[in-house]
Structure 1
Amino acid sequence: MQNSLKLFCSALLLNATTAGATYNHHDFEEKIYFSDTMQKFDGVSTIYRIELDTNAETATLIPLQINENSDGIAEYDHIDVLASSTDGNTLWMINSLYAESTELLKYNVQSTSLESIGLVSWDGPEAEGDADQAAVAPNGDLYITRKYSNFVYRLDTTTAQAEFIGEVTDTNLNGGDISFGRNGVLYMKNYAGLFILDIENVSEQNIPAEMIGTSGVFYTGLANRDGGYGNLLVSNREDSTFEEVSPDSGLILKSYIMLTESGAPYSHQLGGDMATGPFQTCNRNVDFWKNNSWRDQSITINGLHIDEIVGRFGTKSEGREPYNGMLWNTRNYTYSKVYAQLIAAKLNTFNSSNSSLINSAESFLRGKSPSKKVKFWDIFHYTLYKTALYKFNKKNKCK
């Protein structure tokens, strides 16, 4: 029996040190992709990986190998929508010139194969327009927008079924692009400016849009730098440049001239899109989440909804520390210690259910109040989960 417990403990701790750590933050290689639809009815689009030179302020476009083509050519007329899976292994593309022929495509980054999933089926209210923008959320969901209607959908990548989420009424979604930051914030850039779309607080199918800054330029694509943690990068069709933009103010910080692989100036043609490659994974400990903004994140533990008020502020208003939320209100030898580590782990993974450690710890806490003293028969598992979650949150620490 004792040996079995030791094996279980070792396995769980091993999972804690490896789960969710696909990428090492300090060795992270940024990858951003760009699509150019070229001209209408020419039967091709081109897909590139962007190599930025911050000193020379240039952006070299490296063509992707696509099936048999080594020059970035995808044999689809209008790939105006581009997004990447969170692990960077798949690029989702949409060939989209007309609503009735909007087609979801899947590109395998490793094998370089491009295949069709099928035509998009639109759920919800009747509307005009084809797909125009796309981005993958930190939890892996693919979101797309639709021209003319300003509708937002969640797209099933196995069936190409588009589930209606809501309508943006504060601005126009035509042109531009959307992109998720690693913190789950959905940015949208169009001719009018930079916006945050609040898809977590949809009221009566209305999606709020908060303007961050104005623009007045025709942009085609948007991506987050540094694997979702950095500034925004937008493609400017008017002068064939990429512009680095502050996600806080919308101000342009730097401009990069588009170049071909041979170093010649590149001319951005008609439409296009951009995508952040793999999200960068890194973790923050309990102290960080006690003392820093949750950026509108919330989690659930056994059905209990924990937002920043419950988890951090408690009955105190922001700025009046010490707070008395769950992270601040922990006591030794109570279940609150495991709750605190689990809250941090869930915030680090955006409320993910893909970790066996997180799922097991959540099951352990079922029916246990944070303030209750640990039962004698729970001491072993209490210590085990508290230690394993601590190691999980410490592993792959954000810089």
Structure 2
Amino acid sequence: MTFSNQGIGGSAPRWLRLSRRGRQIGGIAIAVVGAGLMAGLTGCQPVSVAANSGQPHGGQSATSGGRQTTSSATSSSGTTSSTASLGNGRYSFTTLDNPADPTFNQLLGFNNGGIIAGYFGSGAAGHPNKGYVLVRTRAGFKIMKENFPGSTQTQVTGLNDRGVTVGFWSDMNTANQQNDNFGFYWLNGRFHDVNFPTRDNSAPPVNQLLGVNDQDVAVGFYNDANGNSHGYTFGIHGGWFHRVTINGASSVTAAAINNSDDVAGFFTNAEGAVDGFLRTARGRTYTLAYPGASATQALGVNDFREVVGVYTVGTGNNAATHGFTWTPGRGFKSVNDPQGAGGTTVNGVNDSGDIIGFYTDSAGNTDGFAAVPAGQPPLPGLIAATTPAPSTSPSTSTPSTSPSTSMPTTPSMSPTASMPTTSTSPTSTTSPASPNPAQPTHW
């Protein structure tokens, strides 16, 4: 199916209007984020995921307050009094779990207006992923559902300041979690299916969009017939695809993009090791490998080239995961939610150095968190969920914009060889499932 102009146009979404109102009442400044791989829809999961097979609980009308705690950040050489971004060494964490399922939540995207993207549900059979956004208001974060029309599962993985969200959906919820995945973006009241045009898809096909910048350029990946991932960027305005490649890598995931078109993600090298990367818009690529870690995944990047993600220490049952921040001038800092030491993932970062992600608690649940540097007012909790607006129909995509120029810098880590970017003309996309008009899918 070729791209069309269907579905473009209309007023700003309700959550964007709410976020602008939030700025007028002094909402925190939160910026562009990326997103990473999550559990549930596919067997291609990050090293950090702890799946939970429990059933969802209750509905989305309950009220749940956030929990604020404070934790020190540590460097690769031990505990330090300086943070990765602002130099004061501490974060104030707030747990934000959708009351529809307090056992499994992941928060994945954060925009400048204080809007958070995420989902609940582990993806185990009978426990499907369900997408939502959290809109910051004077009273706290308001829950609004977002699910692709007719889907069985949806993850909302990223969003920008222009009212665009991205993610992926599935019409399956199998016991082995080997489900088909299809990327999507939401713009001006319409869902649009996005799948990289290739005849070398995995079975079932896996396509995910994970982040989007304010030029409406998204990033994601697809899996080939051998199960290897291939990263790409996608222009919402124009419908173009560009491959994201790294020399010598057998698998590449593009997980985040900032407003300078710098791309962060992770790759598998010839030896089978997993490392993160930051690729500037000018083609320079930096390998990010946390000292002593068995694997490193970069999942988010802001406009100051602060990269966040997760690293793993140990393997198998002895593996522990920790969040990290990395900056060109200061290198790595380890970050852990105090309720999830040994099981923390940092998935996004804004231009103020605020972070977002998830952790595994002592009961084995996966909890979403957002955190601000100490000294800033802690984030609020949740208020009751709202009733979403009627479902909107999916369509295929369109438009046309070019990436902007990048911001020069001299990172502290040695760069790998330049990562070439090749263009692929869109030839077809996978048709979306038929929408279910009775299912409310957007706010």
TM over 0.5: no
The structure whose residues are more often strand, as a share, is 2
The structure whose residues are more often helix, as a share, is 1
Name which one, 1 or 2, has greater alpha-carbon Rg.
1
Q: Bin the TM-score by the shorter chain.
A: 0.3 to 0.5
TM-score for the superposition, normalised by structure 2: 0.39
